[in-house]
Amino acid sequence: MKILGIGNAIVDVICKVADQYLIDNGLTKGTMKLVDETEFKKLLSTLKIEETISGGSVANSIVGLSQLGNDVGFIGKISADNFGKQYEDGLKKENVKYFYSKKKESLPTGTCLILITPDSERTMCAFLGTAGKINEHDIDENSVKNSEIVFLEGYLWDEGGPKSAFDKAIKISNKVAMSLSDSFCVDRHKPQFLNLVKNKLDVTFANEQEIKSLIDAKNFEEVITFCQQLGKLIVITRGEKGSIAINKKEIIECESKKDLKIIDLTGAGDLFAAGYLHGYINNLTILESLRKGTEMSSKIIQKIGARLD
């Protein structure tokens, strides 16, 4: 197997709503809100489900890699409930091998309500459920050992069970890549993430804001210096400024695509990582890999959702 992803197993539940629905439920358009099980069930009971998609950041990347013809798998914690079955079926439909034996958990499968208003804006309500309770016993050792590279997400990292899952996967993997995921994650886990980047990861994905936050950099020159001294492969997206990979002392830059009709930025980073990793595992050059990442992210931001057809 080429790549195994380990991440939050979240069912995206797509629903169309009127603007008034957001007002009535105290939701701010265009934001993401974490909700508890009670609030989630209350909202769900008032909605008509249009579609369910097996989501989560790394899962989106893994599906993208599968669509590019790569042999891939995924580990993510779900419960033996209706959404859990839909999650597993959704990945298998995308030719992703799913290395997790679901059982009835105390918490239900993680879910994210994606509420789409008539202006195409997405407002999200996420209930992580059992997804964030992953631990070392959930890691399928053979699938890790039989993968060329394991891809982790910063969203999943937390003290306790998730840390033990990360530690186990990293210890027995051939190579490890990770996305820093979000500036909020970086700020919350800065010493741990810095240790991972310096000592455990072969490839790190970040956007400019995340990497600057990680090392408290005042400008991008400080980021370049840090990455060159590190002697690893760091891949950074910079929005309109394109992307850059720093491989030991070498700096490779790639321009962003111009004149795009941007509809929805969801999944841009996930699909960029998919494109880059496709290049990485198929022996393309770093520049070719950056271009593939740019191509994938450019496509996804011109449609709604984090899935290419």
- Supply the angle between the helices 57-67 and 268-281 in degrees, to the nearest 10: 50
Residues 6+ away with beta carbon under 8 Å from 305: 12, 14, 53, 264, 266, 267
- Distance, C-alpha 91 to centroid of its chain: 15
Query: What local confidence, expressed as pLDDT, does residue 304 receive?
Result: 67
Distance CA 191, CA 155 (A): 15
* Least confident residue range of 157-166, 203-212, 263-272, 298-307: 298-307
Query: What local confidence, expressed as pLDDT, does residue 118 receive?
Result: 86
* Least confident residue range of 117-121, 226-230, 239-243: 117-121
- Distance, C-alpha 93 to centroid of its chain: 19
**Calculated CA dihedral for residues 246, 152, 90, 283, nearest 10 degrees:** 40
Q: Give the residue among 192, 198, 197, 135 at the shortest CA–CA distance from 169.
A: 135
pLDDT of 24 above 80: yes
User: In percent, how much of the chain has pLDDT > 90?
Assistant: 77
Q: Mean of the pLDDT values across residues 119-139?
A: 91
In angstroms and rounded to an integer, the radius of gyration of the C-alpha atoms of the chain is 19
pLDDT of 302 above 80: no
Query: What local confidence, expressed as pLDDT, does residue 307 receive?
Result: 72
pLDDT digit string (tens) for 271-282? 999 999 999 999
What CA–CA distances, in Å, run from 11 to 62, 162, 271? 15, 19, 18
Domains of the chain: 3-7+57-106+130-300 (3.40.1190.20)
pLDDT of 206 above 80: yes
Query: What local confidence, expressed as pLDDT, does residue 124 receive?
Result: 87
**243-247 vs 250-254, strand pairing mode:** antiparallel
Query: What local confidence, expressed as pLDDT, does residue 201 receive?
Result: 97
**Residues in a beta bridge with 254:** 243
Residues 6+ away with beta carbon under 8 Å from 63: 54, 91, 94, 96, 274, 307
Instruction: Give me the chain's average pLDDT, please.
Output: 92
Determine if the pTM surpasses 0.85: yes
Residue 21 identity: Y
